[in-house]
Structure 1
Amino acid sequence: MKVNKGDIVARPSYKCDLLFRVVEIYPDYVELAGEDMRLIADAPLDDIVIVSEKDRSEHEKKSKEIEEHSYLLFRQDAKLMKQRGEYEITSGYKREPNHFELRGRVLHIDGDPLYLRKCTELYNRLGVPVYGVHLHEKEMPEQIGSLLEMVQPDIVVVTGHDAYLKGKGSEEDSRSYRHTKYFAECVRIARKYAWHRDELVIFAGACQSHFETLIKAGANFASSPERINIHALDPVYIAARVSLTSFMDGISLSDVLRNTISGEQGLGGIETKGVMRRGMPIKYD
């Protein structure tokens, strides 16, 4: 079996439960990135099979259904938040809203260019302003400072791929994770830029990342409390909820996690305020 970069494969040793994209090929093994999950893994050449077009189509159909369900849940909550905001700003009077919204701007740094494209599409669909950058996880700490200065975001997402490496040590040791240390360093640098957790809201992490390390470093939200895999789009739903919530309101952790695909086993956080600001009146030309 000839394997090429970009091939979609599965691992028989894991009962082909996840689909992966081949990102690097070595003499005895390949490096894989999850097709839907933010997981990176090495696999022996004899432990991968190329996924047929039929199986891939079926998988994509199921994934789209899951993603669309989360999107609809988010839109329902966003509609309720908007209606409540309009009621408050008009003091309950039933009249045409005459206000505008300044939604929180997101700086999304992603270790996977394909995931970045998918995330950017979802931000645009949700009406969230975003500046997206693709960087390898190891390069992120070197670049985040200048990006913060340039973009001046309200929300930062630092994500990509990660994995717990059993041979490196225990699950409680953050050094046992492939990229957690780079995500944590980015958070620490961002906190020097804005130390208050409601001034700059940060999401950090990917599949199986060491949640506690990222929260202690200064993140508002992070993955992964139970060291499970998280979906590629989960960081977007958290950032979008912050962007579309008024700075006068706190964000319900249970609500924001309910709208993600991975849920509270894969994502967690601390009490945080929204960053969106309303203004009035609207000036019409």
Structure 2
Amino acid sequence: MKQGDLVVRKSYGGDVIFKIQEFTYQTALLRGIDYRLLADASVADLVPASQTLLDEHEQDMQRKSDEMRSWMTREQPAGADRRSARGGKPDRNSYPYFEVPGKVLHLDGDPNYLRKSMALYGELRVPAEGIYVPETNMADALVRLLPQVKPDIVVVTGHDGILKERKDASMQSLNSYKNSQNFVNAVRVARQYERNRDSLVVIAGACQSHFEALLQAGANYASSPGRVLIHALDPLYIAAKVAFTSIKDTVPIMDVLQHTMSGLDGLGGIETRGSHRMGLPKLKQP
């Protein structure tokens, strides 16, 4: 086996497909290819992922991604439908208007996930700036980036996981997690920049992250209440929903969380206003 190989863990029944990031003696550091999980395993516990497994996995992930795109598209009324939903009655004499969805700053600890996320933001017409930042550097990066980008929504995500030697009694300690402390530090920086949770919406965490600590630090949405794996696109999905929900409305929290691929065990949060605005008259193109 070598760096970059796709593998599964025998001791876990091959439940998650990983890419080998690096080796340390007889241990491999692993990153999930569709789940935001960081793990380590003995080399002896690893076997190459079979082509059959990879094909089945790709079909399943594509199906789930298509479902997310379809639901997001249905939930984003366009043109007169959106205006009507806000109480306007379009007619032939009404003025054309313009839309300003919330702007997203997406920090990701995985460059492959970042590329997938930016492509989907584009499909969903969400204005977003994405930057690859290792989890350990996210807090420092936000100090510099928040005043520059001035986003409405911040996503800080990457990889996380519970350290396998930790016992259940220590699950409330941030020391039991691979990157939860780094995410908490980033959320605190965001809240120092903007205290109002409706003016700056913060979405934070990855697989098995310390949900309670992230909310207490100031996140609007976070993973993972049930300390489960979350899909790579779940944070993006919530960001897109906030970006296209009117500033007059709160995001329908139950609908949003139930339609993530991870469900209520994967992500939770608090009532939050949307970031979408409409304006009149329609802007002239230069």
TM norm structure 2? 0.94
Aligned equivalents of 1:92, 1:99: Cα separation in 2: 13
Among 135, 143, 146, which residue is 2:144 paired with?
146
**How far off is 1:166 after superposition?**
3.9
Task: Check 1:82–1:271 CA distance in 2 against 1; reply closer, same or farther (3 A cut).
Answer: farther
CA contact (8 A) 1:74 1:259 kept: no
Q: Secondary structure at the match of 2:202?
A: strand
1:225 counterpart residue number: 225
Q: Which moved more, 1:202-211 or 1:83-92?
A: 83-92
Aligned CA-pair RMSD? 1.6
Residue pairs, 1:107-118, within 5 angstroms: 107-118=105-116
- Write the deviation string for residues 9-61 of structure 1: whole angstroms up to 9, x where unpaired: 11111111110011111221100001110000001001111112332122111
Aligned-partner residue type, residue 247 of structure 2: F
Please say if residues 95 and 281 of structure 2, whose CA atoms lie closer than 8 Å, have aligned partners that are also in contact: no
Which letter maps to 2:189? I
CA contact (8 A) 1:168 1:175 kept: no
1:1-285, aligned counterparts within 5 Å? 3-79=1-77, 85-87=82-84, 91-95=88-92, 98-169=96-167, 170-284=170-284
What are the ranges of 5 or more consecutive residues in structure 1 without an aligned counterpart?
none
Partner Cα distance (1:185, 1:283) in 2: 39
Alpha-carbon distance in structure 2 between the residues aligned to 1:30 and 1:24 = 6
- What whole-Å deviation, never above 9, does each CA across 1:212-245 have from its counterpart, x for those lacking one? 0000000000000000000000000000000011
Query: Could you say if the C-alpha distance between residues 134 and 284 of structure 1 is closer, same or farther in structure 2, counting changes exceeding 3 Å?
Result: closer
CA deviations over 1:139-175 (Å, ceiling 9, x no partner): 1112111011111111000000001114245112222
1:121 is paired with a residue whose SS is: helix
Given that residues 251 and 274 in structure 1 are in contact (C-alpha distance below 8 angstroms), is that contact kept between their aligned partners in structure 2? yes
| CA apart distance, 1:93 | 3.6
Report how many residues are paired.
282
What secondary structure sits across from 2:73 in the alignment? helix
Which stretch has the larger CA shift, 259-268 or 213-222? 259-268
Aligned partners of 1:18, 1:153: CA distance in 2, in Å? 34
> Residue 156 of structure 1: SS of its match in structure 2?
strand
3-state SS in 1 of match to 2:155 = strand
Distance 1:13 1:213 in 2: 30
User: 1 CA distance for matches of 2:95 and 2:232?
Assistant: 36
Letter in 2 for 1:27: Y
Question: Does the 8 Å CA contact 2:29/2:38 hold for their aligned counterparts?
Answer: yes
Question: Structure 1 segments of 4 or more deviating over 4 A?
Answer: 81-84
User: What is the Cα deviation at residue 67 of structure 1?
Assistant: 1.2
SS of equivalent residue, structure 1 residue 167:
coil
SS in 2 for 1:123: helix
